[in-house]
Structures are given as C-alpha cells and as structure tokens.
Amino acid sequence: SAVISQKPSRDICQRGTSLTIQCQVDSQVTMMFWYRQQPGQSLTLIATANQGSEATYESGFVIDKFPISRPNLTFSTLTVSNMSPEDSSIYLCSVERTGGGTQYFGPGTRLLVL
C-alpha cells in the first residue's frame, strides 16, 4: 500500500469560486486517479491524472470544470471550478503502483458549496 494525503480535508465554499485539492503520495506510483462521491452515492471516476501530459477524462467530466495537474509521480491536484451546490461531494484521489493493480485511496476531501 501507500501513504496518501489530501489537502484540504474539508472545506465550505461559496458558489462561483474554485477550490484546488492536493493529493500527495509517499512514494512514486504509476497511476493516479480522481473520484467524486456525491452524497449518499457510490464513487464515480472523474479522470486519470497523467504525469507530464493532459489528464484523461471520463464521460460527463471536462477539463474546464475539473482541471487536473500531475507534475511528478507523487503529486497531483484537482481543481473544482466555478462551483455550484451540485459540486458538494467527497473528492478522493487514488493511486496504483502498477497498472491494473489495486487502487489505494486517500482520506478524501469533503466539499460543501453554499
């Protein structure tokens, strides 16, 4: 497994603003992912964070709304842009050491948009 941290752990934001969430891993990993979990729902993959190139987004998610960076093999950020109350969710990053293996999750960021 890996030690994964996320910052912030929670935040309350006003609509129309943006929030950047950081994900830090204690060792190099091959794959990093960002998920959204809306209240009472299961997890939905937002995108795969690719090191040194643009993220790969899933259907229904776009770069303008969820820009992602991954400057190296241990760090990634997800920005939730121009937030609305519908963006209130838990955002989780996950990592894999090798492709196709087990994903390990960070502690999550609880976001409430007013």
Partner 1 sequence: AQKITQTQPGMFVQEKEAVTLDCTYDTSDPSYGLFWYKQPSSGEMIFLIYQGSYDQQNATEGRYSLNFQKARKSANLVISASQLGDSAMYFCAMREGRRNNDMRFGAGTRLTVKP
Q: In angstroms, what is the minimal distance from the CB of 39 to partner 1? A: 11
Is residue 7 at the binding interface for partner 1, with CB under 8 A as the rule? no
Nearer to partner 1, 16 or 107 (CB): 107
Is residue 43 at the binding interface for partner 1, with CB under 8 A as the rule? yes
Contacting partner 1 within 60-89 (CB under 8 A): none
3-state SS, residue 26: coil
CA-based nearest residue to 93, from 17, 3, 29, 6: 6
Looking at 74, 76, 77, 94, which residue binds partner 1 (CB under 8 A)? Answer: 94
* Residue 79 structure tokens: 């920005």
Is residue 108 at the binding interface for partner 1, with CB under 8 A as the rule? yes
Sheet containing strand 4-7, strands side by side: 4-7, 19-25, 75-80, 68-72
> Is the Cβ–Cβ distance between 108 and 39 less than 8 Å?
no
With 0-12 CB in 10 A as exposed, 13-18 as middle and 19+ as buried, what is 39? exposed
Looking at 42, 64, 85, 86, which residue binds partner 1 (CB under 8 A)? Answer: 42
By the criterion CB under 8 A, which residues form the site for partner 1? Answer: 1, 31, 33, 41-45, 48, 56, 58, 90, 92, 94, 99-100, 102-108, 110
